[in-house]
Structure 1
Amino acid sequence: FDVLHKHGVFDKIVALCPDVAFAKKRLISRTARYTGLTSVLEFVEGTPSTAADKFEGVNSWLAFNADPADIIAQVGAAKAAGVKNIVAVVSSDVDFGPAEAELKDSGVTYTFIRTGAIVDGKEGTNPFVCGEIATGLGADAVVTRDEAVRIAAECFMIESAGGKAFTLQNGDEKAMAYLKKLRGEGKSRQEEIMYAIAGGLGEFIEEVKEVEEKAAAKKEAEDKPKFVSTQTAEERTAEIDALILKGQEKLKARQEQEYIDAAKIELQVEFAKQKWSEGGISDSAEYEEKYLAQYVEDLKERAYFDEDGVLNFVREEDLDQMSEEELAELDAELEAEEAKEANASLAGAKDE
């Protein structure tokens, strides 16, 4: 009754109940005298079937924890008396179909709520879930009494609740997460109930599911190898051989160019020496064209690439002064360097 009175739209509230003393004890809070509830609240002992005349002059009717067998009769009596707003709460199996048919096109706004077993408890101690009537409720479904009272009372003030029938039960951690989301958005208690009746929880669960699926797909993509070869072993071997050959050719071409560049430098010196001599060639391009190949071959005989890939020259005077043993040692070093260069080319090709 406190919840109904706080709406501030009812000039009079009639409590029609089979046990007035019990109803006063359970349904009136200690603050009732301070809120003005007692001045508008009237208790009448009876049931809608035995006190139908009490519907006269009433525009709204709330049937809480009603007997499912009496719903159609109560709806008919309320309709006949001119009641315009009906909210009925039933905590056991019920078919609201006949009652909805009775009110169709009657101008009466109704909300029918099928709850789980009603248990004692304060409002807000558990999240709640509004579901489809067709889906039904599990045998273990329960709802907190004060929560059910609040939701039923708010249905009078929520326009979108009109013409609806839904289930109500305490929710799980998903319902709690949804409730926290709404509160984080600054929604009022009435708005929370409105969104829940409209199926907001289901939409929220789908949104969470979509986010989780996207996160899982992203993680799966990140965990996958960046490249998965579809080659056979034979194809891979052939590819490696081709890369090795390519690496060797590139190394050979680079070294050949270095020999050519070094030979050109020596040619410039020799060109300058012979230019003014009798029979000398005065055009540098002509001299280079004539002797370059010879100088390159000569240079290859007295130069080598060390382990760092640097071209080293052996002077003729140095060779003349070497013993046979030293020359043999130099030849061995040159062969070792050539082998090392070939291996380096092979490794580079494999890496590539």
Structure 2
Amino acid sequence: MHAITFSKLIKIFIVPCLLVFSFSLQAQEEETEETSKFSISGSVDAYFRTNFNGLNQSEEIVGGDAVTLDPAAPATSFANDPGFAIGMANVILGYENDKVGFVADLVFGPRGEDAVFLSQGSAQIVNQLYAYYKVNDALKFTLGNWNTYLGYEVISPVANFNYSTSYMFSYGPFSHTGIKADFSFDDNWTGMLAIMNPTDYTEYNPIGKYSFGGQLGYSVDGGSAFLNLLYGEQSLSDDSLFQIDLTTGWDLTDSFYLGLNTTYQDTDGTGFYGAAIYPQLSLSDNFGLGLRAEYFKELEDGGVVYGADTNITAFTLTGSFQTGGLIIKPELRLDSVSDDYPAFLDRDLQPNSDLASFLVAAIYAF
């Protein structure tokens, strides 16, 4: 018999074992990649904006003296500065596997500051911060701070067709902090229940009051509809906010989409109601046109924008051209407030109920 040398032992036994172990590690890594995912995404945006019939500068010479005035702009959130302006830088860190995950959504710049207006200090860069646990395919719990579930529009300009925002979005909630349970009843129906701080108190609860939220959703391949509810005390004086909101959108053809948002909000007699339609037409693989036609009415007992019983109409026509991660959006907007409320100053410093404005925005998403 021939003696088995140490080198032969390595070839016969140890090498195959190492190969098996290597294949096992590779399989585990592939399985981990399939079930666990860390992601980094976000966007940056900037724009140029001007008024056709309104004041663009913040300082005027009146009677030989310099007078500081507010440039004319719609009383909606974001994208209201004259001339060349910046929006925000947005970085979203996320992790998910079969059961658990988190999202840390950070914002920098004027748009981000407006979105988290009740936060202070270092928390002013936190747009969303939450962790979640999936019990099973039908139930998921989330704890932390997330952007609102009400309304058609969102804070990030990437997810909105129009660059400027509606009145209904601007005066509804932006974010909530609390705990929520998301339910999946079947392939089409979903639900959500939440206990939260008062609206937009995203860091902590300073008043010891809570809000309650709910949502019922229906989705198919051609579109979706969501009925949203929000109720809760908003201050130490026991002011209670109630809002009901319907958001829906459908692909009517391969190139034509129609969205609808209608909402009603009441805080002890002060509030608003309104409706907006969002028809969008795809003209090519990288260019489309979208219109937002909005009617906004402030309640008779108290308004949130210009005053009680004021009504506003706003028409916004937006083009969207996309190449790679870059999106260019030219936009024409016409705002009209009740005749008895001259909300804007024209270039001659005369009050005016109408404002025509134009902007072009550049958004890069990664």
Between structure 1 and structure 2, the one with the greater Rg is: 1
Band the TM-score falls in, shorter-chain normalisation: under 0.3
Q: Which has the higher strand share?
A: 2
What TM-score do you get using the length of structure 1 for normalisation? 0.23
What TM-score do you get using the length of structure 2 for normalisation? 0.23
Q: Which has the higher helix share?
A: 1
